[in-house]
């Protein structure tokens, strides 16, 4: 199995349980993951200071670990590039200075440089925020520079309040442009297993979203645990493989040297 979205000790938000690359490789083997991408955060902002991981150190650790785990797990050089459209020069700089197997494009932060996790959802127009989120995601897709469109359903994971059950059910017209751009530009849509372990307790993105992606001609689905602890690598993948198969997909997409390849399931 493949896990194309994981975080090591080099991500700023793994302080509670930071993992060495070797820890992650061992956890992947235990979880039955034979292709593991290390995709630490590289978040870009318009005004606020950007958050960088030490790409050189990560890639050195991956290179050092590969011989030790040869034949057991393939270690891929990845990065989670947050909001590349917010600071195109810095995005281009890291992509030019380093070689990657896979680049994840993610949208955590809106143009005001506030992370979706930090909004006060009791006192804002959540529908308006979601409309803005999808419009910003299209702008990120049009900017490009990545291979996988990460956790489309991230807002749902963080918007939940005791008296609300946020959903995308009324946002088809806003999600369709995101899916069309993904198909036209060859992005893989990520199934992010963290959704299964959020308040939603189900795989995502929603079935109707992936059905529409497939109807539009989309064939590339990636799978990532979004593990911020080594022990979460591959978590929930049995549920996700069944879910992805039920939608008519017979393979996942893995990237090596930024080139898409099929991984049968």
Selection from 199, 45, 190, 13 nearest residue 115 by Cα: 45
pLDDT level of residue 11 (50, 70, 90 thresholds): very high
Dist. CA 120–CA 55, nearest whole Å: 33
Tell me the sheet residues that pair with 27.
Answer: none
| pLDDT at residue number 233 | 98
d(CA 91, CA 264): 32
Whether the per-residue pLDDT at 135 is higher than 90: the answer is: yes
Compute the distance between CA of residue 169 and CA of residue 208 in angstroms, rounded to an integer: 9
**What are the tens digits of pLDDT across the range 215-235?**
999 999 999 999 999 999 999
Q: In the chain, what's the furthest Cα-to-Cα distance? A: 53
Characterize the bridge pairing of strands 148-149 and 188-192. parallel
pLDDT digits (tens, 9 = 90+) for 147-178: 999 999 999 999 888 878 889 999 999 999 99
What are the structural domains, with CATH classification, of the chain?
2-264 (3.20.20.140)
Q: Provide mean pLDDT across the span 234-243.
A: 98
């Amino acid at each position: 199995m493949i896990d194309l979205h994981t975080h090591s000790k080099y991500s700023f938000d793994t302080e509670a349980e930071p993992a060495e690359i070797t820890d992650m490789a061992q956890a992947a083997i235990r979880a039955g993951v034979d292709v593991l991408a290390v995709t630490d955060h590289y978040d870009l902002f318009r005004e606020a200071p950007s958050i960088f991981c030490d790409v050189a150190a990560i890639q050195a650790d991956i290179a050092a670990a590969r011989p030790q785990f040869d034949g057991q797990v393939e270690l891929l050089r990845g990065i989670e590039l947050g909001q590349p459209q917010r600071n195109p020069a810095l995005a281009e700089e890291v992509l030019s200075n380093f070689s990657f197997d896979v680049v994840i494009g993610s949208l955590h932060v809106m143009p005001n440089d506030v992370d979706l996790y930090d909004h006060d959802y009791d006192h804002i127009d959540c529908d308006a925020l979601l409309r803005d989120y999808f419009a910003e995601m299209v702008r990120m897709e049009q900017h490009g520079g990545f291979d996988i469109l990460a956790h489309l359903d991230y807002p749902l994971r963080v918007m939940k309040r005791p008296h609300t059950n946020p959903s995308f059910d009324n946002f088809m017209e806003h999600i369709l442009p995101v899916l069309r751009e993904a198909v036209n530009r060859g992005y893989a849509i990520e199934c992010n297993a963290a959704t299964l372990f959020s308040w939603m307790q189900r795989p995502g993105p929603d079935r109707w979203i992936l059905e529409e992606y497939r109807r539009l001609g989309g064939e590339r689905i990636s799978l990532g645990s979004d593990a911020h602890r080594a022990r979460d690598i591959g978590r929930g993948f049995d549920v996700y493989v069944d879910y992805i198969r039920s939608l008519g997909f017979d393979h996942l997409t893995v990237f090596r040297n930024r080139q898409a390849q099929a991984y049968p399931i």
